[in-house]
Structures are given as structure tokens and as C-alpha cells.
């Protein structure tokens, strides 16, 4: 078989695989899904357990009862709404920890509902409950929209592309190096702008349904953007275009129909 035929065959196989791996997010956006959500959840579970155990050994999990109670109250209300939005997530192992790290302004939610918020975010940003709900709602939004598996799939597709080119040109070492590089980039790879917009949309609705003021979405990002010196880590992994506050403010009237600060807002017990 000629090199030209091998190249065309490799390219055709890659295109067919990518087309077959398309999925649809909760907001109707098309996603590349080479990695299943179950696989992403299993990988996240392993990473979360290792991370929390390490932090516990180092004494870096917050023991402040008031801080932990506040975070669990807010995230508990959000999780209740997340399960209503995606009933299958009732089987997730939802959990949240507060990491005692005053120098880190960050929060995250892994696939499968395992969350963390850093004391640096609480101390530097000083979010109101409404604003903290926007942070955690946004992070839960990433999990509900399966963004972890999507990012893993993009990395895998990149590796497959490199491998296909290498096979076609008989450069096997290049394929191995490309795959390793893609895996390394995966660790700190930010979400795409489309994924961020989607998490904003899901997060502000979750917060509103949980009884948190949707106007806080815009004020939160104002506080984030006002941080002097080195930008918060939260911004490095959550690319924020200039019009983000405007888009969130535009969503506020729509979210008002879900918002009832005096309603019954059950708390998922963590």
C-alpha cells in the first residue's frame, strides 16, 4: 500500500471516529465525546480522593465550622436544583471541601460532583452568599454539561491526529511524543469559551432556582476583574471575555422568573 493511500485511510478513519463521537450538551451545543461520562467520573473520583487525602495529611482542609457550614449550605441548595435539572445525577457522589489556602483564589467541580473552594477566594473576593452561589453554580454547570469528558476528548482527538499523521509518515516516535504532550497539556487546559458561556448559563439558573439573586453573577465578575496584581487562578482557567458581565446582566431578567428568595429551598445533605 502506498504512503498516499495510507495517509488517506488514516485521515478517513480519524474523521469517521470524530463524527461518530458527537454528542449534545444540556443547552443544545454539539460536543466531541470520545471519552464517556462514566470514564470521566471514574478518573475524577480517583484524582479527588488522592487530592483530598494529600490535603488532609498536610492539614490543608479547613476546620472552621462556620466556613464549612456556609459552603455546604450554599452548595447543598445548588445540588438540589442540579438533580432536578439532571435527575440521573442523584447517583453522583456529591461532596465539597474547603481548602485552606489563602493564596489561591479558585474553586472547581469535577465530573461526578466532587467540589472544592479555596479560602483565598473567600478572603480575597469576599463574596456574598449570592455571589458564592454563582461561583459554585458555574462550577456545577461544567459538571452537568460534561465538560471534563469533553476536554479529555479534545485532548484524545489531538493525540489521535498526531498518531494518524505519524503512522502515515512512518514516524512512530513523533506519535508517542505528541500523545505525551497532549496528555501534559490536559492538566492545565482551560475550558473553551463555548463551555464557559454554557456553564455561566447553567450556573446562573441553578443559583436563581436555589433562591440566590441572579444580579450577583455580574457583581461577582466585577470583583474578580478588580483584583490587582496577578489575576486570580480562577480567571486563568476560566477565560473571561470583556462582554461576560454584560451577557450575564442580560440573562438576569430571564432568571428573575426562577428567583424566589423566600421560597422553600431544600438543602442536599453533604
- Parse the chain into domains and list their residue ranges: 1-263
| Dihedral angle over CA of 255, 193, 27, 135, nearest 10 | -40
Q: For 48-79, give one letter per residue: b (16+ CB within 10 A) or e.
A: beeebeebeeeebebeeeeebeebbebbbbbb
Q: Digits of tens for pLDDT over the chain (270 positions)?
A: 455 554 554 444 444 444 445 666 666 666 666 677 888 888 888 888 999 999 999 999 999 999 999 999 999 999 999 999 999 999 999 999 999 999 999 899 989 999 999 999 999 999 999 999 999 999 999 999 987 777 777 666 655 444 444 444 443 333 334 333 333 333 345 567 778 889 999 999 999 999 999 999 999 988 887 775 555 656 666 656 557 788 899 999 999 999 999 999 999 999
What does pTM read for this prediction? 0.78
Asked about 139 being catalytic, the answer comes back as yes
Catalytic residue among 139, 150, 196, 198: 139
Amino acid at each position: 500500500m502506498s504512503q498516499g493511500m495510507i495517509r488517506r485511510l488514516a485521515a478517513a478513519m480519524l474523521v469517521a471516529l470524530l463524527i461518530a463521537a458527537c454528542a449534545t450538551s444540556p443547552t443544545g451545543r454539539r460536543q466531541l465525546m470520545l471519552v464517556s461520562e462514566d470514564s470521566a467520573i471514574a478518573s475524577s473520583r480517583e484524582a479527588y480522593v488522592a487530592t483530598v487525602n494529600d490535603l488532609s495529611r498536610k492539614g490543608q482542609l479547613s476546620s472552621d465550622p462556620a466556613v464549612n457550614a456556609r459552603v455546604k449550605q450554599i452548595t447543598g441548595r445548588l445540588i438540589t436544583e442540579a438533580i432536578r435539572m439532571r435527575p440521573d445525577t442523584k447517583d453522583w457522589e456529591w461532596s465539597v471541601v474547603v481548602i485552606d489556602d489563602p493564596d489561591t483564589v479558585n474553586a472547581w467541580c469535577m465530573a461526578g460532583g466532587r467540589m472544592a473552594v479555596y479560602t483565598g477566594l473567600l478572603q480575597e473576593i469576599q463574596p456574598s452568599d449570592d455571589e458564592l452561589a454563582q461561583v459554585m453554580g458555574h462550577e456545577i454547570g461544567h459538571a452537568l454539561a460534561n465538560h471534563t469528558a469533553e476536554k479529555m476528548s479534545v485532548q484524545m482527538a489531538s493525540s489521535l491526529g498526531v498518531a494518524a499523521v505519524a503512522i502515515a509518515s512512518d514516524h512512530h516516535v513523533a506519535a508517542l511524543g505528541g500523545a505525551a504532550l497532549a496528555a501534559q497539556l490536559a492538566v492545565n487546559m482551560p475550558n473553551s469559551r463555548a463551555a464557559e458561556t454554557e456553564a455561566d448559563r447553567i450556573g446562573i439558573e441553578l443559583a436563581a432556582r436555589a433562591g440566590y439573586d441572579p444580579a450577583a453573577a455580574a457583581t461577582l465578575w466585577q470583583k474578580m476583574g478588580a483584583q490587582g496584581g496577578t489575576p486570580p487562578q480562577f480567571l486563568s482557567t476560566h477565560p473571561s471575555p470583556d462582554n461576560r458581565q454584560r451577557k450575564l446582566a442580560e440573562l438576569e431578567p430571564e432568571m428573575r422568573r426562577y428567583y424566589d428568595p423566600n421560597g422553600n429551598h431544600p438543602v442536599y445533605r453533604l
